[in-house]
């Protein structure tokens, strides 16, 4: 009998530490599938962030390095410059990439570093316990915005895809989500495109993935998907923001 469902080779046999309804697992799987399909597992190096995905290397079956908070793009730069043949990607959350690591991601993108950044945006700090992120929505309650994000104090949520696409250096900048199967198919295509650009040595790629955090949003997994679709997707619009010529 033929198998109809298999775990990608690039994914390990670990029980997940992610919460129910969290989208990290789906995104991990998409990356693993793409790496399998492109046959690049033996020369892939992932960079784990600080955040819920700090232990991402437990779920993959290829080399990893673990960065300090926000510094993954600098580490990826270091690797890619000395070993251009390695397939390098960073996996970062919104606190990591859009707050403490904003400098590193902007400059890596602007230099056109030939690696992929997977940016998981769930509008909240996950691992540290639900604090406000640069991408937290106006009025959204978090443990450090107990009365809802006040944009007078904290400004508007940062649209990273739009921001990076304003750079003059060519690159592939897209925003996807994995809230529903129809989105997942598109997201995988985008991730594959990003890794393909790297394989071809063409450009820097950033795939922003709008995600959930039921635990810190105080919602059930189902409610979380609904809220994300209604609230996040109307602010963080999906689509390609920049494609290389």
Residues 140-179 that bind other proteins (CB under 8 A): none
35 binds other proteins (CB under 8 A): no
**E strand intervals along 97-244:** 116-121, 171-177, 204-210, 239-242
228 binds other proteins (CB under 8 A): no
# residues contacting other proteins (CB under 8 A): 34
- Least distance to other proteins from the beta carbon of 5, Å? 23
Ramachandran assignment for 98, one of left (phi > 0), alpha (psi -120 to 50 degrees), beta (any other):
alpha
Nearer to other proteins, 66 or 229 (CB): 66
- Site of tokens 């990591």: 96
- Least distance to other proteins from the beta carbon of 233, Å? 32
Q: Which stretch binds other proteins (CB under 8 A): 37-45, 118-126, 184-192, 201-209?
A: 37-45
Please provide the distance, in angstroms rounded to a whole number, between the alpha carbons at the two ends of the chain: 45
**Residue 135, SS3?**
coil
Q: Which stretch binds other proteins (CB under 8 A): 21-29, 46-54, 211-219, 237-245?
A: 46-54
**Residue 120, SS3?**
strand
Nearer to other proteins, 14 or 150 (CB): 14
13 binds other proteins (CB under 8 A): no
| The only residue of 47, 98, 161, 164 in contact with other proteins, by rule CB under 8 A | 47
Long-range contacts (CB closer than 8 Å, 24 or more residues apart) made by 228-231: 228/122, 228/177, 228/179, 229/179, 229/180, 231/137
CA 132 vs CA 84, 197, 219: distances in Å: 36, 33, 16
Which positions touch other proteins (CB under 8 A)?
A: 41-45, 47-48, 54-55, 57, 60-68, 71, 74-79, 81-83, 85-86, 103-104, 107
């Amino acid at each position: 009998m033929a198998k109809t469902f298999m775990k990608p080779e690039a994914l390990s046999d670990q029980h997940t530490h992610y919460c129910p309804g969290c989208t990290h697992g789906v995104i991990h799987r998409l990356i693993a599938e793409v790496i399998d399909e492109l046959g690049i597992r033996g020369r892939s190096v992932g960079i784990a962030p600080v955040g819920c995905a700090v232990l991402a290397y437990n779920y993959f079956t290829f080399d990893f390095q673990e960065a300090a908070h926000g510094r993954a793009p600098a580490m990826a730069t270091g690797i890619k410059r000395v070993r251009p043949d390695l397939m390098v990607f960073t996996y970062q959350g919104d606190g990591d990439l859009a707050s403490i690591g904003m400098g590193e991601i902007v400059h890596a993108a602007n230099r056109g570093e030939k690696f992929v950044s997977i940016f998981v945006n769930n509008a909240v700090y996950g691992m540290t316990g639900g604090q406000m992120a640069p991408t937290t929505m106006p009025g959204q309650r978090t443990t450090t915005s107990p009365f809802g994000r006040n944009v007078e104090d904290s400004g508007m949520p940062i649209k990273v895809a739009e921001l990076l696409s304003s750079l003059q250096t060519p690159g592939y900048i897209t925003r996807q989500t994995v809230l529903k199967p129809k989105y997942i198919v598109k997201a995988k295509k985008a991730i594959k495109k990003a890794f393909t650009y790297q394989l071809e040595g063409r450009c820097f790629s950033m795939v922003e993935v709008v995600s959930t955090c039921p635990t810190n949003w105080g919602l059930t997994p189902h409610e979380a998907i609904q809220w994300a679709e209604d609230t996040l997707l109307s602010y963080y619009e999906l689509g390609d923001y920049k494609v290389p010529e």
